[in-house]
Structure 1
């Protein structure tokens, strides 16, 4: 049974060397993500992660290792202490590997889905994760809207602030219904790539009582980033 899940964003700037001049302005976000990962490692040394990536579904096994070289820093990461040959890893796997090392967890398996994966696949995905990874901690990776303000990556959209405020409220209160009803088309319009991973979490949590803590919620670079910890009661 999965008894704890943590939600983090997956921007490369979490890594101090990549953040460079933005290191100070990302310190709060980074600290929250590392703290959440530590909370996950408290209850599970093995993790299963679900995040978003390119146009295909992929599974990155614990033996994988890679590098942030493609993001400007040749920093290697591993998904376990006994890695295999280096490979090109999706960003979700790189961030998982970096957080695993920060938290001292033993290993992680990463499932990556396209951001536009239909919502009706969330329940099946959640069931498979729970069945195949009993006793693991669940790491949920995904960003909010990327349209906060005129200098944001996606260009300003007036609905972005309300959208991420609602997501923060849902993540901070374990409101599974609110997450499951997020509209895929609206999330695509707002550039919110975390929609499907959040819905996997909500599907897994349905039918049980969970407590939730919101550790961070802001849009420091025009993108909504949320960090939360969910624990099964």
Structure 2
């Protein structure tokens, strides 16, 4: 049974070598992400992870990879001692491996789902992942905040990410399940499917850490949920 889950973003700017000229400016995003990952590692050194990627559905595990496609050859491994390399690992898997190494976990198995996965299928996957003890949930919010938005700004982005932030901070699984996939896609909120998978993991939860930032026009959410002892909810 999952006893702790951590929600984090997965932008390339987390890796200092990829943003050498902006490492100081991006430090708040990096620090919040590492803090959530270390909370997860304190629960278990064996992680399951879930994230949306066009290459899904598939599971990536026990491989090494590199951020070379992002401009710098920063190697990562999803498992201690892994020797099988996979070229062009998707960004969420690379970030999961990077976080595993820095948080001190032994292994992370990454479940990639299609970005447009319907909520009912997210719910089915969340139920299947319930046998693990620690879940890493990777996904970004809207990329349409303000003047730095990717593409163009959208006034709906603020309300959307405020709603996601409230749901994560209060461990409101119903609110996450109710997210509109079409609206999320329109706003560039790639974390929607992963959040809805997390919302379907059985349990009674309390949030112990939450935060939101929107640098460079992109919304980033963090949350750590812990299971309430002795209670199990569908």
TM range (shorter): over 0.9
Cα distance in 2, alignment partners of residues 23 and 115 from structure 1:
29
TM-score (norm 1): 0.94
Partner of 1:73: 72
Cα distance in 2, alignment partners of residues 215 and 38 from structure 1:
14
Partner of 2:171: 174
**What SS does the aligned partner of 1:150 have?**
helix
- How far the C-alpha of 1:225 sits from its partner, in A, is 0.1
Aligned pairs (5 A) from 1:27-176: 27-61=27-61, 63-88=62-87, 89-131=89-131, 134-135=132-133, 137-176=134-173
Unaligned runs of 5+ in 2: 229-234
**What SS does the aligned partner of 2:210 have?**
strand
TM-score (norm 2): 0.94
Cα distance in 2, alignment partners of residues 107 and 211 from structure 1:
25
Unaligned runs of 5+ in 1: none
**What SS does the aligned partner of 2:148 have?**
coil
The alignment status of 1:215 with 2:214, answered yes or no, reads: no
| Count of aligned residue pairs for this structure pair | 227
Partner of 1:190: 187
- How far the C-alpha of 1:213 sits from its partner, in A, is 3.2
Whether the 8 Å contact between 2:60 and 2:93 is mirrored in structure 1 is: yes
Offset from partner CA, 1:175-233 (integer Å, 9 cap, x none): 1011000001110111101001000111104xx32110343201101111011100001
- How far the C-alpha of 1:55 sits from its partner, in A, is 4.5
- How far the C-alpha of 1:56 sits from its partner, in A, is 3.1
Cα distance in 1, alignment partners of residues 215 and 116 from structure 2:
24
Whether the 8 Å contact between 1:154 and 1:191 is mirrored in structure 2 is: no
Whether the 8 Å contact between 1:68 and 1:75 is mirrored in structure 2 is: yes
Whether the 8 Å contact between 1:173 and 1:213 is mirrored in structure 2 is: no
